[in-house]
Amino acid sequence: MTDDRTRIAIGAVLFEGNSFSAVRADLETFKRGYLVTGSDVIGGLEHSATEMAGAISACRAAGAEIVPTLATHGGAGGRVSAAAFDTLKAGLLGRLRDALPVDGIYLALHGAMLCDDADDPEGDLLAAVRRIAGSVPVVVSCDLHAHVTARMLDNATALIGYQHYPHEDTFETGQRAIDLLLRTIDGAVRPVMAMRKLAAIFPPVACGTMVPGPMRDLYHDCRAIEARGEALSASYFPVQAWLDLQAAGTAAVVVTDGDGAAAQALAERLVGRIWAGRHDIAVPLVSPADAFSAGLSTDDAPIVLCECADAPGAGAAGDSAALLRAHTVAAPRSPMAMTIVDPQVVIQGRESGIGGCVSGVIGHAIDPAFGAPVRYRGTVRTIIDGTFDYRGGLFGGVRADMGPSIVLRIGEADVLVTSKSFYEHHDEHFIAAGIDVRAQKFIVVKNHMNFRNGYAWAPRMIVVDTAGAASANLRDLPWTARDRRCFPFEDSPEPYGLETWPAGEG
Ligand SMILES: [Zn+2]
């Protein structure tokens, strides 16, 4: 140690798994998001909107010494290769071991990662951190869609979540985590946690915290609990919906100052509120044909078509051509912008050059389980390297990489064809491709919630019902692991309790 400042180790390992997705994640996937180690965690992320930037800012404000380990976000997909997870875990643990002794540890995790050989890799990581660090306080922040497990809670001093969906508060989450950690180290507070989990899952497209409904009410409930001083933190985790795991459900995690009974009672109250509002956590899903027809019945433009089933940010492949197929039938004369991941079509288009004519089939090349390719004939309008900078959200300030990409004009549709899937925030990708979204009659977005902010100016938004690994039509997916009653597959006036933590209490 070179001085007597409080030493805080920080790190981040984020990835959202999806049991129904064929998209595989390896180390390259994480590098395309961000993957930095040591002092590059500070240099690479301090000006971003990530949790690490918030943590760095809070540590500096408090005069604490920052000990960076490893920080990465691989976005979302199916499962992470065991080799990639082992490399990330070893990288973080090795740097943590070298940094000891520290006074506290802050880790930003997603909380819903799936690996080849592990359904709870975050629990595994936290157990390893605890083994290395002993009794040092460990504060963990998770994505609001975390699959919070007993093993994670067993090995954390306190666990908090993003408060907002869309996730526009990652920076503030890092700040809150560090504030709680520093107060714990100082002895000003003594965090005690409780979790209550329901056997209930909800389509994220219906779970916004900034639109009227039960999730926004829950957001306000939690802030009121904190403001009254009843809890240090009250968090809700309406879980990544597409985890085909017995233990996946909607959780509330409450951290109080030394009062375990109060934490349990508050967590119970919060999941009770969710259960009471369960029927109101829904949005209408419209068939592609009806969505185009509704759009054509008005002069309003653009009409935002949300194809959430194919959202890469929820783990889907981003390769659906379902709305391109529907457009050619239902609205062929209307300008439309959309994205499709199809590396072969990109290669073909780049070989033919700008202005070149290409034809063949497009779409459903990555995850053929959810649709058949569409036959097309198009003209190459633009060729780009596929990078852009996110202007906000959980990757705010980070560079995106869609891989080599082209814009294909197919009829009246401008299709941004990319080599890789990418997290969709607002319209940064369309801007990078030279597509003017305001000139369109239809804009296809492939995310569950960010569009509500990004296209708040658009006169109409329609959530379209297509097939995909992130379908809001949860009943359509091939669940295999579910062995108990779970909303919305079953329903009851009494909540389906799934798990309590500490075990057996409550
Ligand atoms: Zn999330």
Residues 91-147 have pLDDT tens digits of 999 999 999 999 999 999 999 999 999 999 999 999 999 999 999 999 999 999 999
Show the tokens assigned to 478. Answer: 């091939």
For ligand 1, the distance from its centroid to the CA atom of residue 178, given in whole angstroms, is 21
What pLDDT sits at residue 1?
45
What pLDDT sits at residue 423?
96
Spatial distance between the Cα atoms of 143 and 237, rounded to a whole number of angstroms? 8
Interior angle at CA 399, CA 393 and CA 402, nearest 5? 100
For ligand 1, the distance from its centroid to the CA atom of residue 355, given in whole angstroms, is 39
CB crowding 21-53: b at 16 or more within 10 Å, else e? bbbebebebbebbbbbbeeebbebbbebbbbbb
Spatial distance between the Cα atoms of 458 and 443, rounded to a whole number of angstroms? 10
State how beta strands 336-341 and 233-237 pair: unpaired
For ligand 1, the distance from its centroid to the CA atom of residue 314, given in whole angstroms, is 8
Residue among 462, 463, 445 at smallest CA distance from 297: 462
For ligand 1, the distance from its centroid to the CA atom of residue 388, given in whole angstroms, is 21
For ligand 1, the distance from its centroid to the CA atom of residue 264, given in whole angstroms, is 24
Show the tokens assigned to 26. Answer: 């390896």
| Residue 349 CB neighbour total at 10 angstroms | 26
Asked if residues 415 and 378 have their Cβ atoms less than 8 Å apart, the reply is yes
For ligand 1, the distance from its centroid to the CA atom of residue 142, given in whole angstroms, is 9
For ligand 1, the distance from its centroid to the CA atom of residue 393, given in whole angstroms, is 11
Q: Which helix (H) or strand (E) holds 37?
A: strand 34-37
Question: How far from the centroid of its chain's Cα atoms is residue 27's Cα?
Answer: 18
For ligand 1, the distance from its centroid to the CA atom of residue 468, given in whole angstroms, is 18
What pTM was computed for the model?
A: 0.97
For ligand 1, the distance from its centroid to the CA atom of residue 408, given in whole angstroms, is 31
For ligand 1, the distance from its centroid to the CA atom of residue 413, given in whole angstroms, is 30
Spatial distance between the Cα atoms of 329 and 319, rounded to a whole number of angstroms? 19
**Residues 6 or more apart in contact with residue 44 via CB below 8 angstroms:** 34, 36, 71
Asked if residues 260 and 194 have their Cβ atoms less than 8 Å apart, the reply is yes
Asked if residues 338 and 424 have their Cβ atoms less than 8 Å apart, the reply is no
Spatial distance between the Cα atoms of 274 and 212, rounded to a whole number of angstroms? 14
What pLDDT sits at residue 505?
60
pLDDT tens for each residue of the chain, 506 residues long:
457 899 999 999 999 999 999 999 999 999 999 999 999 999 999 999 999 999 999 999 999 999 999 999 999 999 999 999 999 999 999 999 999 999 999 999 999 999 999 999 999 999 999 999 999 999 999 999 999 999 999 999 999 999 999 999 999 999 999 999 999 999 999 999 999 999 999 999 999 999 899 999 999 999 999 999 999 999 999 999 999 999 999 999 999 999 999 999 999 999 999 999 999 999 999 999 999 999 999 999 999 999 999 999 999 999 999 999 999 999 999 999 999 999 999 999 999 999 999 999 999 999 999 999 999 999 999 999 999 999 999 999 999 999 999 999 999 999 999 999 999 999 999 999 999 999 999 999 999 999 999 999 999 999 999 999 999 999 999 999 988 899 999 999 999 999 999 987 65
Handedness of CA 483, 248, 114, 450 (dihedral sign): positive
Spatial distance between the Cα atoms of 144 and 12, rounded to a whole number of angstroms? 15
| Residue 298 CB neighbour total at 10 angstroms | 10
DSSP symbols for 407-440: EEEETTEEEEEESS-----SSHHHHHTT--GGG-
For ligand 1, the distance from its centroid to the CA atom of residue 167, given in whole angstroms, is 7
For ligand 1, the distance from its centroid to the CA atom of residue 464, given in whole angstroms, is 20
| Residue 135 CB neighbour total at 10 angstroms | 7
> Angle 82-99/121-133 helices, nearest 10 degrees?
20
